Structure 1
Amino acid sequence: MADQSYLNWPFLDDRHRDLSMALEDWCASHLPVDHHDVDAACRGLVAALGAGGWLRHSGAAEGERLDVRTLCLIRETLARHDALADFAFAMQGLGMGAVSLFGSDQQRRWLERTRRGDAIAAFALTEPGSGSDVAATATTAVRVPEGWRLDGEKTWISNGGIADVYVIFARTGEAPGAKGLSAFLMPADVAGLSVAERLETIAPHPLARLKLDNVVLPDDALIGKPGEGFKLAMSVLDVFRSTVGAAALGMARRAMDETVARVKARRIQGQPLAELQMVQGHIADMALEIDAAAALVYRAAWVKDMGAARVTREAAMAKLYATEAAQRVIDLAVQLHGGDGVRSGSVVEALYRDIRALRIYEGASDVQRVVIARSVLG
């Protein structure tokens, strides 16, 4: 089992420790799953996570607040056992984040379904011409007698093609740039929405490019007010960005566990690899990276849970350091496994592919550096 001494850090309460232990038991019985049919695997994972009660933490019930430390603990634990399980949980939270934070009573009916695992959610923000630059969103939403007509494209949409509901961002034109965006709740079966392309990546995930052609949504599909889309998107990312760091942390811990077992068992020149000082130095570096990442992740989550309106700087630091550190830890794990480290299907080989996307999505590493620098300079 991975080191769990961090559970006794003052950032966490007894309820977090109890949850972590319960989820550990659940994961041991349910994970990993077969990834060969990624769509089926994700549908099955959402259903299983819902049946286990874990998805109730992915969104806040009426009158409750999202507990970011709980989100981080769940993502870290799931990612350590199965990166696709982490993906399935995370997208339920991110996909319905705007509804959880700002949705109407009617919109929250969808949230009830995603928290039970009865429906799959997606967050449709990225476009072919706008990734980290949300203000460059080109998809339009125009007032029509029936409500709103949406036209445009979204790409790299997680759960694209299997989602039952999307939160989609479009330009409504109240002001130039970021101030002219709005958010809408869009069922997947609405007329005019199509999957233009399924996207394949080095780690299996359901991803798609979506096309919106005269998609008409009623007035009550609008989340919040017109022109608040950018604020809603940033508020959602402010909550979930540190959880990306937590997922990376879980992958790094799994890489460490695999490596410690490897260097203790593998012998060279009559002695275990673990006896070599150079190997011990690598193990020390991995442990240091993991603890430093954990401190930043759970600090950011704790600050948010203590009532901070925004944790943009803390969340950026947590995501940047944890994802970059996990990449370094996993690379060392592959190196210390030798040829077995690059053998297709091995645990560390899969982790090597799984970790790479975390340094890109929800704000690439260099974007996080800009956010941090502006916070310091400002």
Structure 2
Amino acid sequence: MADRSFLDWPFLEPRHKALADEVEAWAQTALPGLDHANTDAACHRLVADLGAAGLLRHTASEDGTPLDLRALCLIRETLARHDGLADFAFAMQGLGTGALSLFGTPAQKAEWLPRTRAGQAISAFALTEPASGSDVANSTMTARRDGDDYILNGEKTWISNGGIADLYTLFARTGEAPGAKGLSSFVVPAGLPGFEIAERLNTIAPHPLATLRFTDCRIPADALIGEPGAGFRIAMTVLDQFRATVAAAALGFARRALDEALARVTTRHVQGAPLADLQMVQGHIADMALDVDAAALLVYRAAWTRDTGAPRVTREAAMAKLFATEQAQKVIDRAVQLHGGDGVRSGETVERLYREIRALRIYEGASDVQRVVIARQTLTAFQGG
């Protein structure tokens, strides 16, 4: 049983503990037996089930009420501890509609958010390009104004939910200024002429991922989210808000790995005694427990700081994502080691966790990018900026 003592920390309120209980009960009922053989079908089912359970109501705000970041982190941590694909399905409903929730017009919100919150439409966040991953300011995809329309040309890649999403939050160059100030954000429905899924991408932990290609794809001008040229700011605001939830997912993976390791070392015997009696094994367990608690403190500090009114949590979120994802990789690696040969057997829980965690150190800001962010924020604060 995963440690739940953190639910009594002062970062969280009684309603968060009740939410954790709700998600835990749903996960124990809905997730066992989930068929992962067809990830597209599994994600469709997960989004529908999460919507029916009311959990997707936390992913977007139709009336402008700020999102509860601690709730999002609790849900992602709990889902990740049970099933990585369930966490993915939930997370993308939030990230994919984040720009609409924060910057969308009343008409845009009314058209899409009731459906995504109910699990009746799947969303995606289309930012990365073949030649610009972390370097968003140098995106080259274009959106050229043509009367009452914009015409899209270019590619996006590594897009989560690519190929199964009903709507895409898309970022393209509209040219108001060079670099970051020349990008804008749009809501683009699937199935438009000139919009194709160029390639489905396979990874070590299967998820729906794709390269999108736009060739003279025409969208109405009212698909613009926010102001022209505000796309970079919108993207960074959305990532700033949701980055701590990536850390929460890593924390969920780490907690599961620690639980699996504890079960292993207390039941596996070597020379007539449990593995847990060996001091070296105890050292591994101590390090794993320390990493999990330290990551949890950073995750819920970032979420609490945002929920209590901080306009930005760039530094706190970057710290949480960097530490939680890097340490989760180490926790899971130790769990694999403590399982011996069984740790690398296909289908074992720790083997699945080993594959699941790796991408979290890359997406929504790779670890080295987070180090740059933290350093710049720390230097700016020191210099009085």
Trace 1:170-319 onto structure 2 (pairs within 5 A).
Answer: 170-319=172-321
Residue matched to 1:79 = 80
Residue matched to 1:66 = 67
Q: Distance in 1 between the 2:106 and 2:129 partners?
A: 29
% of aligned pairs identical? 69
Please say if residues 251 and 351 of structure 1, whose CA atoms lie closer than 8 Å, have aligned partners that are also in contact.
Answer: yes
Residue matched to 1:57 = 58
Residue matched to 2:325 = 323
Q: Distance in 2 between the 1:316 and 1:65 partners?
A: 20
Q: Which is worse superposed, 45-54 or 145-154?
A: 145-154
Deviations 1:331-355 (A, max 9, x none): 0000000000000000000000000
Q: Distance in 2 between the 1:92 and 1:23 partners?
A: 16
Query: What's the TM-score once normalised by structure 2's chain length?
Result: 0.98
Q: Distance in 2 between the 1:61 and 1:289 partners?
A: 37
Structure 1 residue 198, shift from structure 2 partner? 0.3
Q: Which is worse superposed, 201-210 or 106-115?
A: 106-115
Please say if residues 69 and 305 of structure 1, whose CA atoms lie closer than 8 Å, have aligned partners that are also in contact.
Answer: yes
Residue matched to 1:35 = 36
Q: State the superposition RMSD in angstroms.
A: 0.6
Q: Which is worse superposed, 60-69 or 75-84?
A: 60-69
Deviations 1:229-261 (A, max 9, x none): 000000100110000000000000000011100
Please say if residues 146 and 216 of structure 1, whose CA atoms lie closer than 8 Å, have aligned partners that are also in contact.
Answer: no
Residue matched to 1:106 = 107
Amino acid of the structure 2 residue aligned with 1:63: G
Residue matched to 2:21 = 21
Amino acid of the structure 2 residue aligned with 1:17: K
Structure 1 residue 376, shift from structure 2 partner? 1.3
Please say if residues 64 and 102 of structure 2, whose CA atoms lie closer than 8 Å, have aligned partners that are also in contact.
Answer: no
Amino acid of the structure 2 residue aligned with 1:117: G
Q: Distance in 2 between the 1:48 and 1:164 partners?
A: 17
Q: Distance in 2 between the 1:145 and 1:310 partners?
A: 36
Query: What's the TM-score once normalised by structure 1's chain length?
Result: 0.99
Structure 1 residue 60, shift from structure 2 partner? 1.3
Deviations 1:151-200 (A, max 9, x none): 00000000000000000000001111001000000000211100000000
Structure 1 residue 146, shift from structure 2 partner? 3.3
Residue matched to 1:8 = 8
Deviations 1:193-212 (A, max 9, x none): 00000000000100000000
Structure 1 residue 145, shift from structure 2 partner? 1.8
Structure 1 residue 369, shift from structure 2 partner? 0.1
Which structure 1 residue ranges, 4+ long, deviate > 3 Å from structure 2? Answer: none
Which structure 2 segments of 5+ residues have no match?
Answer: 381-385
Amino acid of the structure 2 residue aligned with 1:107: Q
Residue matched to 1:168 = 170
Residue matched to 1:46 = 47
Structure 1 residue 26, shift from structure 2 partner? 0.6
Please say if residues 178 and 230 of structure 1, whose CA atoms lie closer than 8 Å, have aligned partners that are also in contact.
Answer: yes
Which structure 1 segments of 5+ residues have no match?
Answer: none
Q: Distance in 1 between the 2:195 and 2:155 partners?
A: 10
Please say if residues 64 and 101 of structure 2, whose CA atoms lie closer than 8 Å, have aligned partners that are also in contact.
Answer: no
Amino acid of the structure 2 residue aligned with 1:25: A
Residue matched to 2:383 = none
Structure 1 residue 317, shift from structure 2 partner? 0.1
Amino acid of the structure 2 residue aligned with 1:8: D
Trace 1:329-344 onto structure 2 (pairs within 5 A).
Answer: 329-344=331-346
Structure 1 residue 64, shift from structure 2 partner? 1.2
SS in 1 for 2:213: strand
Structure 1 residue 125, shift from structure 2 partner? 0.1
Structure 1 residue 314, shift from structure 2 partner? 0.3
Amino acid of the structure 2 residue aligned with 1:337: H
Residue matched to 2:92 = 91
Q: Distance in 2 between the 1:102 and 1:111 partners?
A: 12
Q: Distance in 2 between the 1:279 and 1:377 partners?
A: 40
